[in-house]
Structure 1
Amino acid sequence: MNVQNHDLALRMADLARTVALRKVDDVLADVTSAAMELIPGVDVAGVLLIGRAGSFETLAPTNDLMFKLDQLQMRCGEGPCLEAALDEIVVRTDDFRNEPRFPTYAPEVVELGVLSALSFKLYTADRTAGALNLFGFQPKLWDAEAETVGTVLAAHAAAAILASREGDQLQSALTTRDRIGQAKGIIMERFKIDDVRAFAMLRQLSQDTNTKLIDVAQRVIDTRGE
């Protein structure tokens, strides 16, 4: 194992241990920092998340220039980050001065002093998509080995994002269950009925008022002293 591969293995092990233990923003910051260290020629790195109706978010940028690059890309409606997030797995630009795929974006990026790009799909879901994006100030910087390293880093970034969302969903589910349980208890005590009938009352109220069950439960909790 050469020095670069050894360093990559060590960083991957560190990142794997931190995915489940730290906030997603911190893990993504480690990923973009690792890209700067492990892939020669990377001058700017960041993660772009694309939502519905054209919304987007730049996460873990190593330089404020990443905000400009992402904003420009979304305004132009084209670029390596967009293509990686929505279509391709890996998108590489060796020289923006000769990049026919992005006729609007490329000239403006060159004016910012950026000549190379390497973008990796994180995931594409129903409502969101994401990419790990690397930019360089010099042309023709990266080869297949750089793409391999970036792909591994992107996998860790994706794992951090998906783990965070699963955690948020789990917490939301637990909160919902707890509130419905509280509301059932209040109704059981107020009307002297069992839990099955109490839940049936909550569900009927939800249907009659066209209101989410969790919102009905919260109203019951909020008015328990009345």
Structure 2
Amino acid sequence: MAESLGTLARQLQSEDDTETMLDELVRSAVALIPGTDEGSISVVLARREVSSYHGTSALPNQVDAVQSELGEGPCLDAAFEQQTVRVDDMAAEQRWPRFSRRALELGARGMLAFQLYVEGDNLGALNLYSRRPRAFDDESEQIGLLFATHAAVAFANAQRVDQLGRAIASRDLIGQAKGILMERFQIEAAVAFRVLSRVSQQRNVKLRDVAEELVRTGHLMES
């Protein structure tokens, strides 16, 4: 298992595309953690709204939609109260009676949820699903915890890469918008930036959106 996790860590580190990397992370969890049939990364906003990403089937999306609707479930507990939550059999689960009943109807008999990160009221969790009762055991939890440690690092790195990519894209877009104004009105770069900033403040919209509108249409947003 240690060798498998080491190999996975190296593969994830070498993957440039974050979406592909996170897809591979979830698929590896399904393959390596005993009892797992399906998996996903769940993101919770404001301690309630649950969304599924990189799911291996429709089941994770459907179960997370129920957690979001009801405001209860293993993902929420794992993220805010415990690092790990295990459900042996949804048919006998009493902690979240409404959720358990709905999840059972969808085909989820067992779940394992591992906390990935918590940032204020927002969080990430690795959710694993079994279509059979009592498929997860202590070994599943132990291996899952090891895996979740690697997953947390990979997920954090992916977020940083995406944030950096968005920052670079915004910078380039603003640069293009400044260039348009400089050429059109024969003004310096600093003056062009002040024009964009003033429109952003007057319209109460992000500077990037002002720049995008100018680059796309050739016109500044009306103030």
Please indicate the TM-score interval, normalised by the length of the shorter structure.
0.7 to 0.9
Normalised TM-score (structure 1):
0.74
Deviation string, structure 1 residues 188-211 (Cα, Å, up to 9, x no partner): 444444333333333334334444
Equivalent-residue separation in structure 2 for 1:163 and 1:82 (angstroms): 23
Normalised TM-score (structure 2):
0.75
Q: How many residue pairs align between the two structures?
A: 217
- Report the AA paired with residue 165 of structure 1: Q
Match of 1:141, SS? coil
Does the C-alpha gap of structure 1 residues 192 and 20 become closer, same or farther in structure 2, counting only changes over 3 Å? Answer: same
Equivalent-residue separation in structure 1 for 2:214 and 2:61 (angstroms): 45
Aligned match for 1:171, one of 165, 171, 181: 165
What is the Cα deviation at residue 113 of structure 1? 5.9
In structure 1, the residue matched to 2:149 is 155
Equivalent-residue separation in structure 1 for 2:36 and 2:71 (angstroms): 24
For structure 2, the residue ranges without an aligned partner over 5 or more in a row are none
Pairing 1:100-139 to 2, within 5 Å after superposition: 100-110=94-104, 114-126=108-120, 128-136=122-130, 137-139=132-134
Match of 1:50, SS? strand
Deviation string, structure 1 residues 53-91 (Cα, Å, up to 9, x no partner): 954432333344334433333333322122113432111
Matched, 1:184 2:178: yes
Match of 2:140, SS? helix
Does the C-alpha gap of structure 1 residues 220 and 86 become closer, same or farther in structure 2, counting only changes over 3 Å? Answer: same
Does the C-alpha gap of structure 1 residues 148 and 206 become closer, same or farther in structure 2, counting only changes over 3 Å? Answer: same
Equivalent-residue separation in structure 2 for 1:173 and 1:76 (angstroms): 35
What is the Cα deviation at residue 166 of structure 1? 2.4
2:182/2:192 contact within 8 Å kept: yes
In structure 2, the residue matched to 1:17 is 11
- Report the AA paired with residue 82 of structure 1: L
Does the C-alpha gap of structure 1 residues 155 and 20 become closer, same or farther in structure 2, counting only changes over 3 Å? Answer: farther
Pairing 1:9-158 to 2, within 5 Å after superposition: 9-51=3-45, 55-110=49-104, 114-126=108-120, 128-136=122-130, 137-139=132-134, 141-143=136-138, 145-158=139-152
Match of 1:214, SS? helix
In structure 2, the residue matched to 1:199 is 193
For structure 1, the residue ranges without an aligned partner over 5 or more in a row are none
- Report the AA paired with residue 7 of structure 2: A
Query: Larger C-alpha radius of gyration, 1 or 2?
Result: 1
2:47/2:121 contact within 8 Å kept: no
Residue identity (%) = 35
Does the C-alpha gap of structure 1 residues 10 and 194 become closer, same or farther in structure 2, counting only changes over 3 Å? Answer: same
- Report the AA paired with residue 36 of structure 1: V
- Report the AA paired with residue 21 of structure 2: V
Deviation string, structure 1 residues 169-220 (Cα, Å, up to 9, x no partner): 2222222222332333344444444333333333334334444333443455
